[in-house]
């Protein structure tokens, strides 16, 4: 039965995502009411620039005082799409103190200080939902928190940043320059307010921290995640990957150790074979594999960024928390009971593709091979091309500890016959 008294919603932030949230709330008001069992009322919209013309937004709802809005006391759900750490954190905790549930898209804050938010939600007896924070429109957070709550997840691996995937795709398939592709991603609403967060891997690392935490029922913070962005990936790397039948993707990889006693979380560019499903993830799409003991391998795929796709995830959460409120219930809170430690990157087992510029003379190959052997790293393939007394040597290793691999590269740099290390990239997905 439909309740006539509306549920009041406060929207914090009216940028790329907030605008789409407001639009869908208005255009789909009847459907949303029917699905929830009560109408929604957009009770206020906190913005930073009140004078800006916003199509379809009632100027009477706009305020610059976000704090007063969340303190009103009659707000049922606060949607936070401002981004950043402060004032978002204080606004969210204040919202819980004043009886609201919260839907947020803020991965940076959840990865930095999710515990504070969960604790505030718990104290207030309210919901904290954040499907939009990881992989945009793709249902991934709720499947991990709810559908897979009865299974044991061992690995989460995928592409979780739309902007960097868009840039790498454009560089690889359209020959675009890095800056040109980044500008395009920004214009399409994919990039963060400061795109450094995307290209330096902070955004993907925040998502990896959130995914590892909910997948392994532990706490993983942004600082626990090994992070490398795409700023050093060159067209030469992409061309070299192509020659090997691979492409380059920025991957987030969260793994439970084989003995089950620790976890690792990392974000870095990696070569993956063109035959791997992740290789065909184009533009700002995301794709994530989840490997669980009983379920086996699951793949989640879809739009990972952009106003409307992200708003879809926000609206889904809004419906869920509104239903909970009407039922007098709450959804899942933080589940971090395993308290598994996060191991350093050196413990990760992976493969390297190393491209070296070396002197083209007898014994160099043997010298290079000795360095690998001394570090306990086994070589899979070697390709050499010589020209004018210089040669380029491409070595692909078998799986080894990352610490041994980086020790090998360090030692190679110290050889007189090695003129330079042109590129080092991990190889995944084989």
Ligand X SMILES: N[C@@H](CC=O)C(=O)O
CA distance 421 to 337: 44
Smallest distance from ligand X to CB 10, Å: 22
Catalytic residue among 207, 361, 385, 387: 207
Query: What residue 14 binds from ligand NAI, ligand X, Na ion, none (CB within 5 to 8 A, per partner kind)?
Result: ligand NAI
Residue 303 binds to ligand NAI (criterion: CB under 6 A): no
Stretch binding Na ion (CB under 5 A), from 35-43, 125-133, 214-222, 333-341: 125-133
**3-state per-residue secondary structure call for 364-399:** HHHHHHHHHHHCCCCEEEEEEEEECCEEEEEEEECC
Contact 75, 50 (CB under 8 A): no
* Residue 136, annotated as binding a ligand: no
Smallest distance from the beta carbon of 427 to ligand X, in angstroms? Answer: 24
317: contact with ligand X by CB under 6 A: no
Site membership for ligand NAI, residue 93 (CB under 6 A): no
Q: Given the complex with ligand NAI, which of 118 and 352 has the nearer CB atom?
A: 118
Show the CA angle centred on residue 430, arms to residues 244 and 258, nearest 5°.
145
Give 57-104 as a 3 state SS string. CCHHHEECCHHHHHCCCCCCEEEECCCCCCCHHHHHHHHHHCCCEEEE
Q: Read off the DSSP letter of residue 230.
A: S
**Residue 95 touches ligand NAI, criterion: CB under 6 A:** no
What b/e sequence results for 268-301 when a residue is b if at least 16 CB atoms lie within 10 Å of its CB, and e otherwise? bbbbbbeebebbebebbbbbbbbbbeeeeebebb
Name the binder of 48 from ligand X, ligand NAI, Na ion, none, CB < 5-8 A by kind.
Answer: ligand NAI
Q: Between 96 and 352, whose beta carbon lies closer to ligand NAI? A: 96
385 is a catalytic site residue? no
| Interface with ligand NAI, residue 17, by CB under 6 A | yes
Q: From the list Na ion, ligand X, ligand NAI, none, which binds 131 (C-beta under 5 to 8 Å, kind-based)?
A: Na ion
Show the CA angle centred on residue 417, arms to residues 414 and 420, nearest 5°: 65
Among 40, 43, 78, 82, binds ligand NAI (CB under 6 A): 82
CB of 37 to ligand NAI, least distance (A): 27
Identify the DSSP state of 144: I
Q: Say whether 192 counts as a known binding-site residue.
A: yes
Interface residues with ligand X (CB under 6 A) are 136, 161-163, 190-192, 198, 203, 304-305
Interface residues with Na ion (CB under 5 A) are 131, 135, 138, 140, 313
Catalytic residue IDs? 207
């Amino acid at each position: 039965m439909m309740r006539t008294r509306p549920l009041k919603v406060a929207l914090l932030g009216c940028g790329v995502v907030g605008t789409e949230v407001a639009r869908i709330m208005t255009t789909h008001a009847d459907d949303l009411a029917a699905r929830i069992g009560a109408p929604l009322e957009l009770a206020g919209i906190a913005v930073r620039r009140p004078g800006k013309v916003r199509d379809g937004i009632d100027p009477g709802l706009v305020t610059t005082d976000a704090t007063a809005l969340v303190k009103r006391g009659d707000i049922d759900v606060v949607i936070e799409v401002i981004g950043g750490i402060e004032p978002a954190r204080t606004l969210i905790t204040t919202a819980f103190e004043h009886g609201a549930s919260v839907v947020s898209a803020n991965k940076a804050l959840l990865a930095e200080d999710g515990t504070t938010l969960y604790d505030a939600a718990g104290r207030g007896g309210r919901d904290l939902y954040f499907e939009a924070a990881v992989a945009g429109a793709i249902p991934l957070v709720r499947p991990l928190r709810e559908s897979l709550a009865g299974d044991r997840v061992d690995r989460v691996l995928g592409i979780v940043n739309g902007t960097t995937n868009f840039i790498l795709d454009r560089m690889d398939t359209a020959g675009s320059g890095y800056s040109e592709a980044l500008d395009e991603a920004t214009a399409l609403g994919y990039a963060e307010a400061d795109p450094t967060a995307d290209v330096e891997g902070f955004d993907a690392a925040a998502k990896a921290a959130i995914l590892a935490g909910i997948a392994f029922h532990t706490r993983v913070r942004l600082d626990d995640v090994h992070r490398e962005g795409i700023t050093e990936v060159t067209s030469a790397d992409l061309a070299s990957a192509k020659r090997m039948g691979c492409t380059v993707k920025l991957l987030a990889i969260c793994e439970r150790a084989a003995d089950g006693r620790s976890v690792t979380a990392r974000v870095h560019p990696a070569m993956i074979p063109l035959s791997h499903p992740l290789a065909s993830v184009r533009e700002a799409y995301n794709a994530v594999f989840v490997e669980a003991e009983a379920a086996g391998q699951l793949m989640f795929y879809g739009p990972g960024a952009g106003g409307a796709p992200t708003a879809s995830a926000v609206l889904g959460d809004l419906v869920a928390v509104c239903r909970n409120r009407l039922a007098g219930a709450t959804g899942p809170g933080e589940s971090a009971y395993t308290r598994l430690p996060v191991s350093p990157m050196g413990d990760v087992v992976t493969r390297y593709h190393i491209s070296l510029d070396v002197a083209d003379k007898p014994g160099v190959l043997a010298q290079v091979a000795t360095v690998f052997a001394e570090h306990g790293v086994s070589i899979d393939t070697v390709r050499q091309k010589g020209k004018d007394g210089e040669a380029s040597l491409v070595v692909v290793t078998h799986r080894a500890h990352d610490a041994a691999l980086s020790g090998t590269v360090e030692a190679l740099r110290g050889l007189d016959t090695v003129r330079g290390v042109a590129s080092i990239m991990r190889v995944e997905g084989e």
